Amino acid sequence: MGTSLLNPAKPFMDLWYRVNRYFPDYKLHLVPFEDDHDGIITELSRLGEKFDFLIGVCDSRTWLSHCNLLPLGRYRKMIAVSREHRLAQKPQIRLEDTPPFYDMSVFNRCAETGNVLLTLECWTEVHPALVSIPVDWDYTISYGLLYSLNPTGDVRRFVETVETTVL
């Protein structure tokens, strides 16, 4: 199981404890990786080699060209602001582009500049200098179990077990 700051193992562990009775001879091994925006595609391409699974946010055609996705749910979009930020009653909005995939540099920039960052509820604790604020938007993003485009039999069996017993 791959794990990183932006793709933590806890959602997988929650899933594992719901189906592990079907896999009594299996043990989990957590494999940390760096999820910077340059390296995440390489990590996705190595699913099935470096580790078998990763749980992450995924609505990217680029990502899905490197792996399979079993959708597990949706995360709400939120905003993150520096702990010292004071939102005015009518703040002016100036959009600033970010890299196509978030990494810690995006969160650091938000903390340093005082900008408001569009973020996800699963990342509320990613940066200690930021506070995530829920918003009343009907705007979500899917997340799920990412696995190899050519999964082994064991991986396919796990995915099928999750599909039939959890979803």
Q: Write the DSSP assignment of 11-51 as a string of letters.
A: HHHHHHHHHGGG-TT-----EE----TTTHHHHHHTBTTTB
For the residues 88-98, what does the mean pLDDT come to? 62
For residue 100 the two structure tokens come to 């196509």
Quote helix, strand, coil % in the chain, to nearest 5.
30, 25, 45
Q: What is the pLDDT of residues 99-144, one digit of tens each?
A: 778 899 999 999 998 889 999 999 999 999 999 988 888 889 999 9
Burial class of 13 by CB neighbour count within 10 A (0 to 12, 13 to 18, 19+): middle
CATH topology of domain 2-74+141-165: D-Maltodextrin-Binding Protein; domain 2 (3.40.190)
To the nearest whole number, what is the mean pLDDT of the chain?
89
Tell me which residue of 23, 12, 14 sits closest to 54, measured CA to CA.
12
For the residues 64-75, what does the mean pLDDT come to? 94
List the single range of 41-50, 71-80, 87-96, 145-154 with lowest mean pLDDT.
87-96
Tell me which residue of 8, 23, 4 sits closest to 121, measured CA to CA.
8
Q: What is the pLDDT of residues 7-28, one digit of tens each?
A: 999 999 999 999 999 999 999 9
Domain ranges of the chain: 2-74+141-165, 75-134
For the residues 42-68, what does the mean pLDDT come to? 92
* Spatial contact of 147 and 51, defined as CB atoms under 8 Å apart: no
Residue 93 pLDDT > 80, yes or no?
Answer: no
47 strand-pairing partners: 51
Only one residue has tokens 């091994």, namely 29
pLDDT: is 35 or 94 the higher one?
A: 35
Containing 147, the helix (H) or strand (E) segment is strand 140-147
Q: What is the pLDDT of residue 87?
A: 56
* pTM score of the predicted model: 0.83
